[in-house]
């Protein structure tokens, strides 16, 4: 049995036996999400929850003052930041910021993969958000919202984490780029779907984590997965399918034409979105 197949066999067996260790959201993200789901929560109470984590507090204030929020008057407290950002966006932005903590490893090879995957994910998120902003500006339709778009793109490739974690546990055998590329390509989708179910996210986000690479999976109506695919193609993650992704995007009305994805307007929106993770 090849080493690639050995790693795949281990992963498949652990999935089937329900023994694969799945990542858990950092505690502060869980607290914020729980608070945001409380119908009686108010902005002051949410500020108190976020204020328990100094790092998240600082990042939220930075986002509130960023070009992404489109405001010129600066805020300097978490209460002001929460008011500006709003409860709806805070839930997913806090998840996004906390998730960065998951992409770390003490193994040199695996650590580089973690860093690469996080950087790729940020690029996909920024591209997807900018594509949705262009769509909303062009069509005036708002059936899709930006905060869910952020989260959908953020978790699209979450399945890589258990693969890299397993490689770290057996670094003498599996912490090799060749082996990891094969395992990620074959297993990230089904593992990603399992993680999203474990985290109790909805079917649409489960579907994105499982099938974003598979262009045979096309929802009846325009969906977040359409924008994730455009974002991934622009980030260089779907090179063999790039033209197909863009053609499909034009057919489904995601973009008017491919040239819009290189416009000054798109680039400005993308760079503003990246500030969330800076």
pLDDT tens for each residue of 40-61:
888 889 999 999 988 888 888 8
- Chain center to CA of 177: 23
Domain with CATH 1.10.3210.10 in the chain: 103-278
Among the CATH numbers 3.30.870.10, 2.130.10.10, 1.10.3210.10, 3.40.50.720, which is that of 103-278? Answer: 1.10.3210.10
Write a three-state SS string for the chain: CCHHHHHHHHHHHHHHCCCCCCCCCCHHHHHHHHHHCCCCCCHHHHHHHHCCCHHHHHHHHHHHCCHHHCCCCCCCCHHHHHHHHCHHHHHHHHHHHHHHHHCCCCCHHHHHHHHHHHHHHHHHHHHHHHHHHHHHHHHCCCCCCHHHHHHHHHCCCCCHHHHHHHHHHCHHHHCCHHHHHHHHHHHHHHHHHHHHHHCCCCHHHHHHHHHCCCCCCCCCCCCHHHHHHHHHHHCCCCHHHHHHHHHHHHHCCCCCCHHHHHCHHHHHHHHHHHHHHC
pLDDT on residue 259:
95
pLDDT on residue 27:
84
pLDDT digit string (tens) for 86-118? 877 788 778 877 788 888 888 887 888 889 899
pLDDT on residue 207:
96
The reported pTM is 0.83
Mean pLDDT, the chain cut into blocks of 10 residues (278 residues total): 64 76 80 87 89 87 78 83 83 79 82 89 95 95 88 92 82 70 84 87 93 95 97 93 96 96 94 80
pLDDT on residue 268:
92
């Amino acid at each position: 049995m090849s080493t690639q197949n050995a790693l795949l066999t281990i992963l498949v067996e652990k999935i089937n036996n329900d023994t694969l260790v799945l990542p858990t959201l950092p505690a502060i993200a869980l607290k914020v999400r729980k608070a945001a789901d409380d119908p009686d929560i108010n902005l002051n109470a949410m500020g108190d929850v976020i204020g328990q984590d100094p790092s998240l507090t600082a990042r939220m204030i930075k986002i509130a003052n960023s070009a992404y929020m489109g405001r010129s008057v600066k805020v300097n407290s978490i209460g002001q930041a929460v008011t500006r950002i709003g409860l709806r966006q805070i839930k997913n932005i806090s998840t996004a910021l906390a998730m960065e903590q998951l992409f770390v490893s003490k193994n040199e090879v695996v650590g580089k993969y973690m860093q690469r995957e996080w950087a790729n994910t940020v690029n996909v998120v920024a591209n997807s958000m900018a594509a949705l902003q262009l769509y909303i500006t062009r069509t005036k339709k708002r059936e899709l919202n930006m905060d869910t778009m952020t989260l959908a793109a953020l978790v699209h490739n979450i399945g890589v984490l258990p693969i890299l974690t397993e490689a770290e546990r057996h670094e003498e055998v599996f912490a090799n780029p060749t082996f990891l590329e094969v395992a990620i390509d074959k297993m990230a989708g089904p593992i990603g779907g399992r993680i999203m179910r474990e985290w109790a996210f909805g079917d649409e986000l489960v579907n994105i984590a499982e099938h974003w690479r598979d262009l045979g999976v096309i929802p009846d109506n325009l969906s977040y997965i359409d924008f994730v695919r455009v974002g991934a193609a622009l980030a260089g993650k779907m090179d063999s399918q790039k033209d197909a992704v863009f053609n499909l995007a034009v057919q489904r009305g995601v973009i008017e034409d491919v040239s819009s994805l290189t416009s000054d307007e798109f680039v400005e929106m993308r760079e503003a979105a990246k500030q969330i993770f800076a």
